[in-house]
Structure 1
């Protein structure tokens, strides 16, 4: 048996609507929204009393998906620090290829996106940056230049 595909990456957020707006501005599309609860959800997640709302976001090419999840119960745990730096062990970041990094950063700033540094050039191949989005999510952007 082999893996068929990577289906999605789940990100827990405090404000689902703000996260949906941020990733919609980035160019992802809402594939669907749902309320999740019941014994099957408790079993799958390994928590008791799971009640959550999710939004499934799809990349324009249809191959990548993000599942944005807001837990109603149990309350989401907050790691310390609240906004871990990029070198913290665990999920590092989600990277998206874009065709206009300057325009994308400007649009995401209007939705709370905050550059962690600047927009860097990697040789003559890419312009790259990291920004922090909703719930402290680090989003990387890459614009091919060469």
Structure 2
């Protein structure tokens, strides 16, 4: 038995439409939206009776997906969005981009904020972290040369 692939990364948000628009501006494509509810879903998550609206976003190469979820019931119980980069748990999602400056300019119009600086890592990558929709930590990487 072998691992086939990583299927998706899930992110819980409050405003699904805003998150979809942000990640579309980043270059992801909306695969679809659906309401996930019922006894089977609660058995998977351990939340019992749940109602969750999801949007599946796909990278242009088709290899990676981001599942955005908005919980209607039960309501979210914790908020890790504003934790610093050295907090325990999931840190961020990193995206490779063609032009980090143009990407930043576009996303800042949607409210993205640069966390630190755009840095050059050994003339191999330009890297930065941003706070995207609802304070989510997102990494951007532009391969150089």
Name the TM-score, length of structure 1 as normaliser: 0.95
The SS at the match of 1:70 is strand
Unaligned stretches of 5+ residues in structure 2: none
Q: Could you say which residue in structure 2 is the equivalent of 1:57?
A: 57
The SS at the match of 2:43 is helix
Shift of 1:78: 2.5
1:65-98 CA-partner distances (Å, limit 9, x unpaired):
0000000000112336x51011111111100110
Q: Could you say which residue in structure 2 is the equivalent of 1:45?
A: 45
Aligned length: 145
Shift of 1:48: 2.0
Unaligned stretches of 5+ residues in structure 1: none
Superposition RMSD on alpha carbons, in Å?
Answer: 1.1
- Give the 5 Å matches for 1:98-117: 98-117=97-116
Aligned partners of 2:43, 2:108: CA distance in 1, in Å?
Answer: 38
Aligned partners of 1:139, 1:71: CA distance in 2, in Å?
Answer: 21
- Give the 5 Å matches for 1:1-146: 1-79=1-79, 83-146=82-145
The runs of at least 4 consecutive aligned structure 1 residues that moved more than 4 Å come to: none
Name the TM-score, length of structure 2 as normaliser: 0.96
